[in-house]
Amino acid sequence: MDKSNSFGSLTALAQGSCLDVFPVPVQAGSEGVPAGAIGAALEFPSATLSFHLKALKSSGLIRCKRQGTSRIDRPDCSAVNELGELFKKRRQLRRGRVRSRDEEYFGAIPA
């Protein structure tokens, strides 16, 4: 995951309500969950939910597929895993376990 993609993902998750929405399709896994069920579970108005789902889709963290009249939201597992790897590498770099190109990517990280 490059810096611009990771920045977009982190920006989306920095919105409090997006952080509430994101775990619902992740917990549903590859089967996904209808947008209406997410809204009902979180008691979000449809316009608010739509806004946050759009932010998560734009960041690449979730994907949406139409099934009839429903929208099924699923996590993009590769994007989620890449974001996890980003944090793992940053933690390793901070501990002095990773060098080379990762230092260029992350820059100077204080101990």
Domain ranges of the chain: 3-76
pLDDT in tens, the chain (111 residues): 666 677 888 888 888 889 899 999 999 998 999 999 999 999 999 999 999 999 999 999 999 999 888 899 999 988 888 888 888 887 777 776 655 555 555 555 454
Question: Are 78 and 28 spatial neighbours (Cβ–Cβ below 8 Å)?
Answer: no
Q: Which fold has domain 3-76?
A: Arc Repressor Mutant, subunit A (1.10.10)
pTM of the model: 0.73
Compute CA 91 distance to the chain's CA centroid, rounded to the nearest angstrom. 19
The runs of H, that is alpha helices, within 15-61 are: 16-21, 23-28, 35-42, 46-59
Compute CA 88 distance to the chain's CA centroid, rounded to the nearest angstrom. 16
